[in-house]
A and B are shown apart, each in its own frame.
Chain A
Amino acid sequence: MKMKLFSYNFENTFVHNLSGLTKLICFLFLTFAVMFSYDIRVILSILLFSLVVFRISKIKFKQVKLMVIYVAIFIFTNAIISFFFAPEYGVKIYGTKHEIIAITKSISLTYEQLFFQVTKLFKYASVIPFGIIFLLTTNPSELASALSGVGVNYKAAYAVALTLRYFPDIQREYSDISQAQQARGLDLSHKAKFKDRFKNALLIMVPLIFSTLSRIELISNAMDLRGFGKGKKRTWYNMRNLNKNDYLALGVSVFIFIVSLGVSFFINHSRFYNPFI
């Protein structure tokens, strides 16, 4: 059977066993910690930390390979484009200019710009493992209860959970439909022309959309009949009280957050770390 790509799989690890709410709050703190700071020392430490957590939660690289590739492409494109839009941004921030090479008369590559962009690149790179860990180790309904725990409307939270809950079903249906259509002569391989491939994909999407719509009708009836949406609040069966490990995880995240802020305010006196002065 095909590996379940990018979807929740239960494993008995420290990270999986944390409550969904804990993971969501930790995720937010750590993301803010990285987002706030432009100090490459802080960022690299957090990146290292995120890779350790990645290891602890036993996620296999195979599961996230595709995602990582897309993100990598995105980050590099972003870096190149931002260079051409604002090649002097680093100079502006750090206040010095050490030229490496001049590309045209007005554009040149500077150490400042390079340093700034490398910092930014690692910034993105260290947030992404946290996102992946959070999504892959939190079961959808815990995610919903966590979202609702931090104040998101529970209907919206449940919608997110349902999407994730039915994702594997729809994947399976997609493969069934696609096989049946291939039997009728549909060519989905790279041999077909791009235009044909697009048209052919439609032949799978149409039945998929219709069957998904009827599934939605069924689910919404089932939920209505069991009183979903009745009150302003609801409880969550799998919501549990936080335990020692949860507090530990929260403590570590808050600590990292404070250190990141502390470094900015008291050591760098700015969000940027400036090695050029």
Chain B
Amino acid sequence: MNDKLIIEFKNFSFQYYSQSEPTLHDINLKIYEGEKILIVGPSGSGKSTLGHCLNGLIPFSYRGVTEGSLKVKGKETNEQDIFKLSKIVGTVLQDSDGQFVGLTVGEDIAFVMENDNTPIDEMKERVLKVSKMVDMDKWLSSSPYELSGGQKQRTALAGVMIDDVDVLLFDEPLANLDPATGKTAIEIIDDIHQKTNKTIIIIEHRLEDVLHKDIDRIIVVNEGRIIADMNAHELVSSSILIENGIREPLYVTALKYAGVAVTPEMKPGHIYTLDTSAVNQVVKNWHLSVVKEAKRTLDEPILKMDEVTFSYDGRKKILENINMEIRRGEMVSVVGRNGAGKSTLSKLLCGFEKEDQGTIYYLKEDIKDKTIKERAELIGVVMQNPNQMISKPMIFDEVALGLKLRNVDPSEIEARVEKVLKICGLAPFIDWPISALSYGQKKRVTIASILVLNPSILILDEPTAGQDYKHYSEIMSFLQEINQTGVTVIMITHDMHLMLEYTPRAIVISDGQKIADTASSVVLTDRKVIEDANLKETSLYNLAQMVGIEDETRFVQNFIDYERQVR
């Protein structure tokens, strides 16, 4: 590392024309060449705006008022243009799907060079070279539909690196990736940092996942201001994370539960630097003292899949001989890598697709002949993106839609909508337009619009995708309340925290087959299952090993039980 400044914010403020308040206040920040920086903050903290200022989307695409100065490589950004800035700061956007502009990998990587009017031979040569760096050289003629999420991200990275930029900016690189792919992404970024010594800036709220590899400094942003600028060890030991709604690493939470005062001397910034030698006994004692949760007695099975097989084209089986049983009032996760068949499973349950073989029972009844509409009154499905469901401008109308389409009596509609809005904490907004709501509230509206039909089972596709810790906790505790009213909840997810903390049981699908159906703590400590389902070992497992606890699964279970009791 050297001490040559590459980015310097000086008393920098920014306000979007469309907003009444500045989004960034008085930012002072220096970043030096070759540094690897992580910017964390909850949603709406201004961290993405900060990133937009660096790559020139602000002020050139999103207009607003800037004050103070921002210099990139010694030049004021205001006096340049987005094209010049993009030659210095290369950006890998959050949504690797949407930013895939080309029709093939090669073309997408070459996009910058095409725009630079580079001769074709030179372009092909560079594309090949860069694609080798990210291990995509075998895929140059593949289309985005043939690629996994991780491969799309590698392509995006190559497309930025081909330009030999000085700074690589990653805007929430982990948002759409499963845990194992996310881990690999962090490793690739680290690898590139070491090989090229480019300045790396990562914007992300999944702190623990980024801390899988070294980070020089972490900048905490909240409410448009820089709250902290320190190394990982200091940050994790402080109370800044919790105060600002950012989830601390799980092993740190576990240490705190055990009564350990986490200090920078223990090097707790990364699990691989953590030194617990002084506190091993404390943790062990705590492990033994945790009161085990009584096993919940389970009701009758409400949903049963018996040898269900399905294929779209009659050849490749998407699901094969799936047997499972969900009991009334359960809260279950369905996990597995992208394309494993999880979404197809939920489509079968809702009747969007029909099983080829086998039977699906609701209570004891075969529901093969029920239409989508009829099934929706038993099994409701909430899509991942609320914007894909909302079709009315007003909250009341949106929630009432399902009832209106069923020709329910207007007075009954009103009563039922009011009731469900109350449950969902949306009662004060009944006359509001949906556009005035936050993302999390919109999510609630979509859940309410399904709940109003009184289904006894609710299926949610990635209910917490892209949510920061605060919204995640809100949505999950809301779902827990719904669950406690007797609704069975099935969640399709990648989120290991969600699995651990909220669903006692997890069903793992891999290549169309059910490979595990057991306690979440068991799933997340089983090497084989973790690998097949593209999950990642929880850091609690490593912590247990570190302090010398033999039954790692029990330790994870204890952590879950303890957390339930204190929450």
Contacts and interface: CB of A to CB of B under 8 A. Distances in A.
A236 B347 CA distance: 41
Considering residues A184, A219, A221, A240, which has the most beta carbons from chain B within 10 angstroms of its beta carbon?
A184
B540 interface: no
Contacts of B91: 225
B329 interface: no
Interface string B300-313: 00000000000011
A275 interface: no
Contacts of A177: 388-389
Contacts of B113: 235, 237
A218 interface: yes
Given A221-B57, A225-B91, A226-B111, A235 B119 contact: yes
Majority secondary structure, A binding face: helix
A231 B390 contact: no
Interface in B43-101: 55-57, 60-61, 82-83, 86-87, 91, 93, 95, 98-99, 101
Interface stretch (A67-75, A209-217, A250-258): A209-217
10 contacts: A141-B104, A179-B350, A182-B373, A183-B372, A185-B373, A186-B405, A187-B405, A210-B387, A224-B82, A231-B115
B348 to A, nearest CB: 12
A176 B388 contact: yes
A274 interface: no
Contact of A184 (B87, B99, B117, B376): B376
Contacts of B103: 139-141, 161, 165
Interface stretch (A21-29, A95-103, A200-208): A200-208
Interface in B105-124: 106-107, 110-120, 123-124
Nearest to B116: A227
A185 B391 CA distance: 13
B105 to A, nearest CB: 11
B402 interface: yes
Contacts of B381: 180, 183
A162 B102 CA distance: 9
B138 interface: no
A239 interface: yes
Contacts of A218: 93, 95, 98-99
Contact of B112 (A173, A186, A226, A233): A226
Interface residues of B, number: 63
Given A179-B352, A237-B110, A211 B385 contact: yes
Contact of B115 (A186, A204, A215, A226): A226
A233 B350 CA distance: 51
Nearest to B318: A1
Contacts of A182: 352, 372-373
A211 B82 CA distance: 26
Contacts of A230: 83, 115-116
Interface centre among B119, B123, B372, B390 (most CB of A within 10 A): B372
Given A182-B373, A183-B376, A184-B402, A1 B390 contact: no
Contacts of B117: 231, 233-235
Contacts of B352: 179, 182-183
B375 A228 contact: no
B375 to A, nearest CB: 7
Given A182-B373, A183-B380, A186-B405, A173 B114 contact: no
Interface string A186-202: 11000000000000001
Interface in B183-229: none
Interface in A229-268: 229-231, 233-240
B115 A1 contact: no
B101 A181 contact: no
B127 A237 contact: yes
B387 A211 contact: yes
A5 interface: no
Contacts of B401: 184-185, 203
A123 to B, nearest CB: 34
B389 A207 contact: yes
Contacts of B519: none
B72 to A, nearest CB: 14
B385 A187 contact: no
A140 B119 CA distance: 21
A226 B385 CA distance: 27
Interface of A: 1, 139-141, 161-162, 165, 168, 173, 176-177, 179-187, 202-204, 206-207, 210-211, 214-215, 218-231, 233-240
B115 A181 contact: no
Interface in B372-398: 372-373, 375-376, 380-381, 383, 385, 387-392
A184 B449 contact: yes
Given A183-B380, A225-B82, A235 B118 contact: yes
Interface in B324-361: 347, 350, 352
B406 interface: yes
A43 to B, nearest CB: 35
Given A218-B98, A227-B112, A237-B124, 11 more contacts: A183-B352, A185-B406, A207-B391, A215-B98, A222-B101, A224-B82, A226-B111, A227-B86, A228-B111, A231-B116, A237-B110
B249 interface: no
B82 A234 contact: no
A184 to B, nearest CB: 4
B123 A183 contact: no
Contact of B372 (A168, A179, A215, A231): A179
Nearest to B408: A185
A176 B107 contact: no
Given A207-B389, A222-B101, A225-B55, A185 B376 contact: yes
A227 B115 contact: yes
A181 B398 CA distance: 11
Most buried by B among A210, A218, A224, A227: A227
Contacts of B41: none
A223 B391 CA distance: 29
Interface in B436-470: 449-450, 453
The 6 A-B residue pairs with the shortest CB-CB distance, nearest first, are: A185-B405, A222-B99, A237-B110, A218-B98, A183-B376, A184-B402
B123 A184 contact: no
A234 to B, nearest CB: 5
A140 to B, nearest CB: 6
A176 B343 CA distance: 11
B159 interface: yes
Max chain B C-beta neighbours (<10 A), residue from A179, A182, A235, A237: A237
Contacts of A215: 98
A239 B119 CA distance: 11
- Looking at B119, B124, B385, B453, the one whose CB has the most chain A CB atoms below 10 A away is B385
Nearest to B82: A224
Nearest to B97: A169
Contacts of B145: 168
